[in-house]
Amino acid sequence: DAVYPVIFIDAINVKIRDGQVANRPIYVALAVTVDGERDVLGLWAGEHGDGEGAKYWLRVLTEIKNRGVSDVCMIVCDGLKYLPAAVAQVWPQTIVQACIVHLLRNSFRYASKKDWAAIAKALKPVYTASSETEALERFVEFSESTLGRKYPAIVRLWENAWAEFVPFLAFDREIRTVICTTNAIESLNSRYRRAVNARGHFPTEQAALNHYPYALDPA
Give the model's pLDDT for residue 197: 66
pLDDT band at 157 (very low <50, low <70, confident <90, very high): very high
* Banded model confidence at residue 219, pLDDT cuts 50, 70, 90: very low
Band of pLDDT at residue 200, cut at 50, 70 and 90: low
Higher-scoring residue by pLDDT: 20, 55: 55
What number is the average pLDDT over the span 78-89? 88
**Confidence label for 218 from pLDDT (cuts 50, 70 and 90):** very low
Q: What is the pTM of this model?
A: 0.77
- Work out the pLDDT band at 129, boundaries 50, 70, 90: very high
Q: What pLDDT score does 19 carry?
A: 67
Among 60-64, 88-92, 103-107, the minimum mean pLDDT is found in: 103-107
57-61, 87-91, 215-219: least confidently modelled range: 215-219
Residue range 78-104: average pLDDT?
89
pLDDT score for 69: 96
Mean of per-residue pLDDT scores for the chain: 84
- For residue 49, pLDDT over 60 is answered with no
Question: Between helices 116-127 and 132-144, what is the axis angle to 10°?
Answer: 150
Q: How far apart are CA 68 and CA 176, in angstroms?
A: 27
Q: What integer pLDDT is reported at residue 53 of this predicted model?
A: 86
